[in-house]
Amino acid sequence: MTTTLRPAGPEEPAAGGGRTRRWQICVNGRPVGGLRTTAQPRGDQWWGEIAELEVVEGHRRGRATVGALAAEEVLRGWGCTRVDVTVPAESTGGLRLAEALGYTERMRNLAKRLARFPELRTDVTVRPIGEADYAPWLEQAKAGYRHDLTASGLTPAQARAKCDADHRVLLPQGPATEGVALRQLLDGRGTRLGSLWLALRQDLLPDGRPLAWVMVVEVEQAHRGHGYGRTLMQVAERECLSAGVHDLGLNVFSANRVAIALYDSLGYRVTRRTLGKPLL
């Protein structure tokens, strides 16, 4: 039997100047599943994603593998140099398939349902990041993001392009960007201990509830190991509840074992895993 991809509809534009298309996975011309390919420009490179992969029960027998490999060929033809897949936490079969195809986990999505305002420690203060603080904060945030992207498997050029593109989209008006909370944690002498970037109402859950997102939580190198990361996450939770948002999510790079342990201790649970590989 021959397994092929067949367009399920016309190619469509994607956000940010990208392109996307839905495909049917066919066996001898008969549809048994489908997937979506998406390509996004990152600087002078293109970044691919395979999503919505499904095969009808009783017709699997390697068809998902063939479909994914065919989707990689589509993305190569679109000029992509890297491809990601996102696997729901409960999909053990999807995770096994991705790993068998050479994908490695580089990032996890976590989430928590918020119920009450956490108490903050009394030896610190929280202040907004204003215009005077924004430029140095942004440069530090971008440097940390580029480092994490490179550690997750991207090349320096890919990390730089993705970093610049993401910040242009997410902070178009800097500290005045609507729906964004930029906060810094200070000690009694006014020394900055760390900072937080929180996007309120970043997304909607399947039932329509708003989902806020921690974009950056960073403790200054000289002040790590003293619980300030926990405090910043508690600040994020308080900001959410003050805005009427009861669900908070975040990304954590898989290599950051210290952060993963912190989020686990605070009650955050994995919802999705992102795995990727270069397209050679």
75, 202: one domain? no
Among candidate residues 102, 127, 161, the one where a domain is terminated: 102
With a cut of 80, say whether residue 84 has pLDDT above it: yes
Same domain, 120 and 166: yes
Cβ atoms of 54 and 35 within 8 Å: the answer is yes
Write out the H or E segment, with its range, that includes residue 68. Answer: helix 63-77
Q: Which of 169-178, 198-207, 223-232, 256-265 has the lowest mean pLDDT?
A: 198-207
In-domain check, residue 280: no
Per-residue pLDDT tens for 157-167? 888 988 998 89
Please tell me whether residues 39 and 127 are part of one structural domain. no
Are residue 156 and residue 88 in the same domain, yes or no? Answer: no
Do residues 210 and 201 touch, judged by C-beta distance below 8 A?
Answer: yes
Q: Do residues 12 and 19 touch, judged by C-beta distance below 8 A? A: yes
Domain assignment of residue 228, yes or no: yes
- Report the range of poorest mean pLDDT among 44-53, 87-96, 152-161: 152-161
256 in the same domain as 117: yes
* Enclosing domain of residue 93: 3-102
| Whether residue 127 is found in the same domain as residue 44 | no
User: Does residue 78 fall inside a structural domain?
Assistant: yes
Using one digit for the tens of pLDDT, what is the confidence trace for 242-272? 999 999 999 999 999 999 999 999 999 999 9
Q: Residue 262 — φ and ψ, nearest 5°?
A: -65, -50
Please enumerate in sequence order all residues whose Cβ is within 8 A of that of 272, keeping only pairs 6 or more positions apart, or say none: 86, 87, 88, 89, 108, 109
Residues 53 and 129 in one domain: no
Q: Do 201 and 223 belong together in one domain?
A: yes
pTM: 0.86
What integer is the mean pLDDT of 3-7? 93
- In total, how many domains does the chain have? 2
134 inside domain: yes
Query: Does residue 107 sit within a domain?
Result: no
* Shared domain check, 222 and 118: yes
pLDDT score at 65 = 94
We report the CATH number of the domain holding residue 12 as 3.40.630.30
Q: Using 50, 70 and 90 to split pLDDT, how confident is the model at 22?
A: very high
Supply the Cα-derived Rg of the chain in whole angstroms. 21
The pLDDT assigned to 208 comes to 81
| 131 shares a domain with 68 | no
* Domain-located, residue 254: yes
State the average pLDDT for the chain: 93
Q: pLDDT at residue 53 above 70?
A: yes
- Backbone dihedral angles phi then psi of residue 167, each to the nearest 5 degrees: -70, -35
pLDDT of residue 1: 65
Tell which wins on pLDDT, 42 or 223. 223
**Residues in the chain, how many?**
280
Identify the domain boundary among 102, 128, 149: 102
Q: Look at residues 62, 78, 102 and tell me which one is the last residue of a structural domain.
A: 102
User: 71 and 35 in contact (C-beta within 8 Å)?
Assistant: yes
